[in-house]
């Protein structure tokens, strides 16, 4: 029986995440909704849209900024800013990916959660999107006067100027472009500063109309709120739309027949500046492959394990070979990347001499060939399998809500035609990989052969310092601005000045009290009157205090050992953090660094260290490692 316009399509227990998953479809619009029900009080909502870019104007990125600049029900300039004043949210943000845009929000308080969901739904479906919004968030002309030259300004324009001046960002951008020359991944959804000013207001509005539609939406609920009220709130917005076409699927990139090589330059500053263009070892090189379709979840997991074995730790053989070569300063590339319809593997070095790029490529291929022929150390494979399994079971996202990681994992598969639950249920794939690794002596070596050494879809990207890069970029921008200025009449220039004044006035204008009052806030009645209770049992073992917390940890035991450093002279306490780092990173009398690293990875989910200094209730200093 439909629930607030939604029909149930699939229901499945997912014990790996201690949840009941229910997949729904909105009957009227076709909107997709995944409900992950469990006892996690940190509730999360996310609405995502497939937003494959048509060009590199950064339209998806600019639109992400713009829908959060006021909407019909909540007509304030910065809803996020106002929400933070009266919300207990544990996450409040938005993301633009190469092919989708996501709006996640989380809170442990039920009323707060519904308030946030309401604001988000209004923002994406009923934003103002005025011409001034595009000009502020995207781009506009500015000038100091009727006879002064023009400049480009805009929040995203300025942001992407910074991105395009960073070689770390550029090498990733060029790597993506090299592997997907025939798909939307060859474009920049974030925006190329040289192309952003091509964006028109008509394109801006049309892209929102076409992509921010229920028929193109993926909606995700997670946590301990299982009520039908969620569906009613969403249906209030969806039911105002008619069914429409979803965004077109991202095309499959045809495989290359041979390796392609690319050379790019980046702004290194004038050649005579010390540490800039004069430094011969400032280049980057990546060796890259296009791999499997992301909906093949078992292959994805197997390649994640392989990637960790190759480059995931300081002791990983491919990483170690690259670092020990002395050709560069550090790795670049990131290993396995599941962020596209077809995943990638990318590795290389930064801080190399440009002339050494061929040596780096040869070293990568020779190391892979040696590992495929001679075998990967079984302890390395076991450690990587264990590490990836721990990551999956822990879902330790640091400051991010756990539900956000699950939303991203589900969307990764969902958008490209897969079952989002397959992105969350990993047990079958993991057990299959373990069986194959145990029963097929060359299982991971065969993956190296198939997906890397025998894979002709390979690119090599060299990014090298170019002392003239900034000058060329600035000259091209100046020429465009001069051409635009020459085509302007006196009235056009006055319009530019008027737009500047209007945008400044809008920026300085405070929200009215009536507008601010529309933003929902919490009252004392909405707050829990008692603090959350965490079970704790205190015992002693050989005189040492032992605290045990019996809570759900997905089968993982967490152990913290605290060593009292009161006996140390005070002058040595600052070295406590360094000591902890060396303890884990230098090996022991019986095991060198590589063997110790393998054993830690094979037998634990990782060992960390931290130095804690505090003052006790009675005013005594306490330092523990």
Give Cβ neighbours of residue 604 (< 8 Å, ≥ 6 apart).
386, 390
Question: CB pairs under 8 A, 24+ apart, for 203-210?
Answer: 203/54, 203/57, 203/59, 204/59, 204/62, 204/63, 204/66, 204/129, 204/134, 204/138, 205/129, 207/51, 207/54, 207/59, 207/60, 207/63, 208/63, 208/67, 208/127, 208/129, 210/247
**Secondary structure element (H or E) that encloses residue 140, with its range:** strand 140-143
Contact 500, 142 (CB under 8 A): yes
Query: CA–CA separation, 256 vs 290, rounded Å?
Result: 9
Length of the chain: 625
State the burial class of residue 442 (Cβ atoms within 10 Å of its Cβ: 0-12, 13-18, 19+): middle
Ranges assigned E (strand) in 437-568: 458-466, 537-541, 544-548
Query: CA–CA separation, 462 vs 349, rounded Å?
Result: 10
**Strands 458-466 and 283-293, bridge-based pairing:** antiparallel
Query: CA–CA separation, 203 vs 64, rounded Å?
Result: 15
Residue with tokens 């209730």: 617
DSSP β-bridge partners for residue 330: 350
Is position 64 annotated as part of the catalytic site? Answer: yes
Catalytic residue among 41, 64, 202, 293: 64
Closest of 306, 345, 344, 351 to residue 328, by C-alpha: 351
**Secondary structure element (H or E) that encloses residue 285, with its range:** strand 283-293
Chain center to CA of 145: 42
Query: CA–CA separation, 200 vs 196, rounded Å?
Result: 9
User: Where in the sequence numbering do the catalytic residues fall?
Assistant: 64
């Amino acid at each position: 029986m439909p629930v607030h316009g939604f029909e149930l399509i699939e229901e499945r227990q997912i014990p790996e995440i201690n949840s009941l998953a229910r997949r729904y479809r909105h009957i009227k619009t076709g909107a997709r909704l995944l409900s992950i029900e469990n006892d996690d009080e940190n509730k999360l909502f996310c609405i995502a849209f497939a937003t494959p870019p048509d060009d590199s104007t950064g339209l998806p990125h600019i639109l992400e900024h713009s829908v959060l600049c006021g909407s019909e029900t909540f007509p304030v300039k910065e809803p996020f800013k106002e929400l933070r004043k009266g919300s207990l949210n544990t996450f409040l943000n938005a993301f633009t990916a190469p092919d989708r845009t996501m709006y996640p929000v989380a809170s442990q308080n039920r009323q707060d959660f519904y308030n946030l969901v309401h604001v988000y739904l209004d923002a994406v479906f009923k934003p103002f999107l005025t011409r001034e919004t595009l000009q502020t968030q995207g781009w506009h002309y500015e000038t100091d006067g009727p006879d002064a030259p023009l400049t480009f300004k805009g929040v995203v324009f300025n942001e992407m100027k910074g991105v395009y001046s960073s070689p770390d960002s550029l090498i990733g951008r060029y790597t993506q472009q090299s592997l997907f020359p025939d798909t939307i991944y060859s474009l920049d959804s974030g925006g190329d500063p040289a192309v952003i000013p091509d964006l028109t207001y008509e394109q801006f509005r049309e892209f929102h109309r076409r992509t921010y539609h229920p028929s193109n939406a993926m909606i995700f609920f997670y946590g301990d709120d299982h009520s039908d009220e969620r569906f009613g709130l969403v249906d209030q917005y969806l039911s105002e739309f008619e069914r429409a076409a979803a965004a077109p699927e991202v095309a499959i990139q045809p495989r290359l027949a041979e390796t392609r090589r690319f050379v790019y330059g980046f702004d290194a500053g004038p050649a005579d500046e010390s540490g800039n263009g004069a430094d011969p070892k400032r280049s980057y090189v990546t060796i890259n492959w296009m791999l499997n379709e992301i909906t093949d979840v078992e292959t994805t997991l197997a390649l994640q394990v392989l990637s960790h074995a190759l480059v995931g730790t300081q002791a990983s053989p491919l990483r170690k070979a690259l670092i020990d070569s002395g050709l560069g300063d550090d790795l670049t590339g990131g290993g396995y990347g599941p962020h596209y319809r077809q995943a990638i593997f990318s590795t290389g070095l930064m801080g190399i001499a440009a002339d050494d790029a061929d040596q780096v490529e040869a070293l990568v291929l020779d190391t892979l060939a040696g590992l495929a022929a001679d075998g990967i150390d079984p302890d390395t494979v076991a450690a990587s399998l264990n590490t990836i399994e721990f990551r999956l079971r822990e879902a330790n996202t640091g400051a991010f809500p756990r539900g956000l990681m699950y939303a991203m994992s589900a969307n990764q598969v969902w958008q490209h035609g897969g079952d989002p639950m397959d992105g969350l249920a990993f047990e079958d794939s993991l057990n299959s990989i373990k069986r194959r690794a145990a029963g097929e002596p060359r299982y991971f070596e065969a993956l190296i052969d198939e997906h890397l050494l025998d894979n002709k879809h390979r690119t090599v990207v060299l990014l090298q310092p170019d002392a003239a890069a900034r000058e060329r970029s600035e000259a091209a921008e100046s020429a465009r601005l001069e051409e635009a200025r020459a085509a302007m009449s006196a009235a056009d220039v006055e319009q530019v000045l008027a737009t500047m004044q209007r945008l400044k006035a809008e920026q300085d204008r405070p929200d009215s009290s009536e507008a601010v009052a529309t933003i929902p806030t919490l009252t004392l009645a909405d707050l829990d009157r008692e603090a959350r209770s965490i079970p704790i049992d205190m015992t002693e073992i050989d005189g040492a205090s032992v605290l045990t917390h019996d809570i759900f940890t997905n089968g993982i035991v967490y152990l913290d050992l605290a060593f009292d450093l009161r006996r140390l002279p005070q002058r040595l306490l600052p070295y406590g953090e360094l000591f902890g780092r060396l303890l884990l990173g230098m090996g022991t009398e019986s095991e060198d660094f590589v063997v110790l690293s393998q054993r830690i990875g094979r037998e634990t989910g990782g060992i960390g260290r931290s130095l804690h200094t505090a003052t006790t209730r009675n005013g005594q200093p306490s330092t523990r490692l």
